[in-house]
Structure 1
Amino acid sequence: MSSHSLRVGIAGLSGRMGQMLVRSVLDAGCRVTGGICRDPGENGLSMNELTREGAITLCADMTQLATMSDVVIDFTHVSTVIPHAEALKDTGTPWILGTTGLSETDQKAVAVAAQSIPVVQAANFSAGVTLVLRLAREMGAALSAERFDAEIVEMHHRQKVDAPSGTALAIGEAVAKGRDVTFADVRTPAREGQCGARKTGEIGFAALRGGQIVGEHTVLFTSATEQIALSHRAFDRRVFADGAVQAAEWSAGKTAGLYNMEDVLGLT
């Protein structure tokens, strides 16, 4: 299937990311066939403005969107993950999932869907962040927890409602995977007050908020004698939309399975 014939549906059409996805899909030569959104008027957008790029149908639900699309890109809310997983599995439509903050139950629903359809799931669709995650895993394996403390610092715009960011958590998971430990066992939330000395092996997080910063992430490996920092800075949210569209094009014709951006970039 050529990119010019690929029909892309967008979940969360009226959001900031949804509107960037429209631009990225069209710039890639694909078609935006439809979208769903909680409120067509959110962010001050009118119905006409939402559909100004052409025949973009506002769908009532995911099932309607999936039936008219070759692939669906989904940057919505964690509360939609399970119903979206069921709808896309039933219609056989590939799913590009960028929603973060999933519970164990949500992730199981994604895994079940991936038995029937291609699912490309990523906390961040940037090529640069994908490489950071890979390097964080390799550094976690090479720099032992007994010698190197791992800390992750992230900063985002003042409107961001969750902390740490999904990308920061993904970096933490990569470090834990490299060290062959369970992330939930070593994750440490933000420190405040009399929290005691740092424990060997824990992975700490600090979340900063301010202005309109798109996204900055740094993982620090610090020993008694040296420090290594691995950083990524996004200048434009368009990088996330472009990466998601790249994943959508890659998913065409793929067999069922749970994939990530390393697969899309040919790193696996």
Structure 2
Amino acid sequence: MATASAFRFAVNGYKGRMGQAVLRVLEDRKLPVASKFDKGELPNLVKADAVIDFSTPEASLALLEACANEGLSRPKPLVHVIGSTGFTDEQIARIPQFAERVVIIRSGNYSLGINLLAGLLKQVTARLEAEEWDVEITEGHHRRKVDAPSGTALLLGEAAAFGRGVRLNDVKVTARDGITGPRGVGDIGFSVVRAGGIVGEHSAIVASEDEIITLSHSARDRTLFARGAIQAALWGRTQKAGLYDMQDVLGF
């Protein structure tokens, strides 16, 4: 098994804000960068052991196929850490087909705090009846973010739905406008803010007629997501090919 210092990274989307944060953390930790590439550039994976990918769903799927093909000539599969968000259901359904040849780690958020929050939310919703307790997810990001709700908000929604034993797509409400009538029993609602340079604000509100539980997380610097993605890649070097998420990385 390669040591951390011998484990070589490729960075997709390196011109973006998250890609730049990943490169800074790799440099600070003296972890070698084998290659970096962005939109319109061919991925170079020849010398890489792992690729950290904060780009777009389309680019991530194309890169995932490249990782699978590259892995055919190697004794160990590549690690592909996917931080892209905004996947459609159809795109998500394509990801597992590469899991036999790639160590795939995909998460809507690589923060330790967010993943702890998701774990707590699962426990809360598993213990409180949907008929009496409503769930709302609120999130805020910078004005440049293109997808909504955020991948993190959906991660929290999935956690709430998991606790209740339902599919998020069956209970998700992402927009309210006009005379909407009362909320449906068991609905999981989402509210979105896009303004200025907000890095990431997320709250899960679980409310009954008499009391309100609020679980919240504030991100102050993108570096925390970069550190989590690199931690995930280093964890992945000891794993077999398969599909994982940050809950697996953290042992939750």
Find the aligned partners of 2:212 and 2:12 in 1 and give their Cα distance: 41
**Equivalent in the alignment of 2:34:** 33
**Equivalent in the alignment of 2:63:** 84
The CA RMSD over aligned residues, in Å, is 1.2
Find the aligned partners of 1:90 and 1:26 in 2 and give their Cα distance: 28
**Equivalent in the alignment of 1:55:** none
Gaps of 5+ in 1: 40-59
Structure 1 residue runs of 4 or more that deviate by more than 4 Å after TM superposition: none
Counterpart mapping for 1:1-268 below 5 A: 1-38=2-39, 60-62=41-43, 65-92=44-71, 93-267=78-252
Find the aligned partners of 1:105 and 1:211 in 2 and give their Cα distance: 32
Give the AA of the match of 1:91.
E
Shift of 1:28: 2.5
Q: Please, what TM-score do these two structures have when normalized by structure 1?
A: 0.88
Shift of 1:184: 0.5
Find the aligned partners of 1:37 and 1:110 in 2 and give their Cα distance: 21
Shift of 1:29: 2.8
> Secondary structure at the residue paired with 1:67?
coil
**Equivalent in the alignment of 1:57:** none
Give the AA of the match of 2:171.
V
The more displaced of 67-76 and 84-93 is 84-93
For residues 75-116 of structure 1, what are the alpha-carbon distances to aligned partners after superposition, in whole Å with 9 as ceiling and x for unaligned?
A: 101121321221111112210011111122322222111122
**Native 8 Å contact 1:8 1:70 kept in 2:** yes
Find the aligned partners of 1:160 and 1:108 in 2 and give their Cα distance: 24
Find the aligned partners of 1:118 and 1:228 in 2 and give their Cα distance: 37
> Secondary structure at the residue paired with 2:45?
helix
Q: Please, what TM-score do these two structures have when normalized by structure 2?
A: 0.93
Find the aligned partners of 1:130 and 1:136 in 2 and give their Cα distance: 10
Aligned residues between the structures: 245
For residues 197-220 of structure 1, what are the alpha-carbon distances to aligned partners after superposition, in whole Å with 9 as ceiling and x for unaligned?
A: 111100001101222111000000
Find the aligned partners of 2:16 and 2:60 in 1 and give their Cα distance: 17
Give the AA of the match of 1:61.
L
Gaps of 5+ in 2: 72-77
Find the aligned partners of 1:194 and 1:111 in 2 and give their Cα distance: 41
Find the aligned partners of 1:264 and 1:202 in 2 and give their Cα distance: 30
**Aligned-pair identity (%):** 40
For residues 138-160 of structure 1, what are the alpha-carbon distances to aligned partners after superposition, in whole Å with 9 as ceiling and x for unaligned?
A: 11111121110000111111222
Distance 1:75 1:202, change over 3 A: same
Find the aligned partners of 1:133 and 1:25 in 2 and give their Cα distance: 27
